[in-house]
Structure 1
Amino acid sequence: MANPSGDGGRYPASDRIGSTPRDRVLPATRALCMFIVPFLLVAFVLLYFWPSADDTGRLFAWRIAPDFTSMMLASAYLGGAYFFARAVAATQWHRIGGGFLPVVLFSGLLGVATVLHWDRFVHGNVGFWLWAGLYFTAPLLVLLAWWSNRSQSPPATVDDVLLAGPEVAVIAAAGVLACVTAVVLFVLPGWAATVWPWPLTPLTSRVVGSIFALGFAAVQVLADRRWTSARLLVQVALIMLGLMTVAAVRTLGDFAADRPLTWLLAAGLVGSLVGLAALYGRREISRAGSRTARG
């Protein structure tokens, strides 16, 4: 049970248990993470630096338009590459465990989108077969990795710095909003295209929805308030949001200024970036203070 005192509290010593899991990352999980990283890095480079429809049609799995959609997907890829690279070197499962189910959602939805829009892909490109192979296998493999490791996460202890109650509420609310947006984009792509800030096809609507589904990571703070559990996920979000902000500035012409959602999403992007940076700074100061207090 969390400390009811709220802000930045710690779990009471009475919540310790005599026999705790080892909090380790299994070798098979490390191997899977190591295998995934190169694919994500290559996809990031291709989509972020050659985002045009002509380039993606030649180098990637399908022609993506406009450029911002390519760069948004690339931003998610680099965030994922960073996450899995850190997971390879991680020594404690609870520090990385929160990233696996969001990846299952993201990759699973992209697999479904691939089947639904099979005819939109460039089947002659090597990039397509890499895409299809990855998204037809990754959801199951990542889910199995999470399932195998799930019992490794120990309960919080008196030494754990917790996210404050208001922080949890805001983060979880943002995650729920992202997940609802993902559902709308995936289930109602035709309607979404009429209000969305940049042009969407049914395929790109579902791809963008898959990216928003990564917001499930934020919902998980309701189950685990430890800063050590959230820290890496916040770093990943900062990478993704930072790259998306740069991409938006580079592709301003892709956006419809007359649509209200354009300005709402812009405010949400900048607000999330600033808010997460402030949270990260605050919690790192708390973590440093906790270490100092323990001597």
Structure 2
Amino acid sequence: MPTRESVSGTDRVLRPVRWLAAFILPFLLIAATILVFLPGRIAELFAWPIRPPLTGMILGSAYIGGISFFAAVLRTGQWHRVRRGFLPVLVFASLLGIATALHEGLFTRNLSFFAWAALYASTPFLVAAAALAQRRADPRLPGPRDVLIPDHVARALVGVGGVATLTGLVMFLFPALFIQSWGWDLTPLTARTLGAVLSLTGFVNAPMVVDRRWSSYRVLFAAQLVSLVFILASVAVGRSDVHWERPAAWAFVTLVLLALVSYGALTVWAELRLRRARASAGTTAERFG
């Protein structure tokens, strides 16, 4: 692998980082297929029997966002476009690895479990190593036709993400507090799993405090939007398992909708600005060509 000095400011994705994405993608594809599209067979095919299947479908929705992200890591040539996704992945994988160690006796000793255990035992270290190897590659400058996220929008998104992450981390650390009050039935393991999913949003948004380049979040927001749509679809499909009389059910749906609207609105605004900038650049080139 090249030294930190040799990649400094080059903004390129190193080959081992692409290998890491290629290693993770098949796990995500298989798990998402089972959890989202075969919820009735989770107990048979997955690493542990998730009941009700709604929590498994939400976990699978997070994996679908991960598929979108790691596919972009394989495609993109610029490190800064995917850099901000590695911290959320590191936190998410670490939390699920800890949850696995804490509740090891609840897992089924099948092929899915051994794949799960191998993934979450290795991924935090591999992702951390990749991020460290690449950390000097980002030139930290806007591109020639980049868009800067307005400061007040960045602060609002950091706030929304902070609420989601705080809820997720408290749920992970103190699952018993949520088992009787959450919007659907939970166990300590599924509460911690859901907490890991909820934590993602804040770690995606937090870097906006220091980096407001739209190009740094375009890939991540696309992944988050896909994931949020599937989460809402999961709630709709599994609505019979939801305790709608509990405030937590409505709070969860409201938070997901708020995140979906926020990400969607910013994406539309930024993409329109990018399109105008490109059109303007094309007109200028024609004028002086």
**TM beyond 0.5:** yes
Q: Distance in 1 between matches of 2:279 and 2:244?
A: 50
SS at match of 2:93: helix
Instruction: Name the counterpart of 2:281.
Output: 294
Is residue 48 from structure 1 mapped to residue 33 from structure 2 by the alignment? no
Displacement of 1:233: 0.8
| SS state at 1:73 partner | helix
Q: Is 1:210 equivalent to 2:203 in the alignment?
A: no
**Residue number in structure 2 paired with 1:8:** none
Q: 1:22-49: per-residue Cα shift (whole Å, max 9, x none)? A: 1000000011101111110111001111
TM superposition shift of 1:158: 7.2
Give matches, 1:135-284, under 5 Å.
135-157=120-142, 159=144, 160-215=146-201, 216-284=203-271
**Alpha-carbon contact 1:182-1:211 (below 8 Å) kept:** yes
Let me know the Cα RMSD of the aligned residues.
1.4
Alignment match of 2:10 (pick from 1, 14, 22): 22
CA contact (8 A) 1:104 1:142 kept: yes
TM-score, reference length from structure 2: 0.92
1-structure distance, mates of 2:212, 2:176: 38
Cα offset, 1:294, TM superposition: 2.9
Q: Which runs of 4+ in 1 moved over 4 A?
A: none
SS in 2 for 1:152: coil
Q: Indicate which of 111, 129, 133 corresponds to 1:126.
A: 111
Aligned pair count reads: 274
CA distance in 1, matches of 2:160, 2:135: 25
Cα distance in 1 for partners of 2:12, 2:170 equals 37
> Counterparts of 2:74 and 2:87 in 1: how far apart (Å)?
17
- Equivalent residue, structure 2, for 1:14: none
* 1:184–1:192 contact (8 Å) kept in structure 2: no
Q: CA deviation at 1:275?
A: 2.4
1:47-85 Cα offsets, whole Å, 9 max, x none, are 111213xx2221010000112101100001111011101
Shift of 1:165: 1.2
Q: Specify the alignment match of 1:113 in structure 2.
A: 99
Deviation readout 1:196-234 (Å, 9 max, x if unpaired)? 111110000111111112121111211210000011111
Identity %: 38
Question: What is the rounded CA distance, in whole Å, between the counterparts of 2:142 and 2:243 in structure 1?
Answer: 50
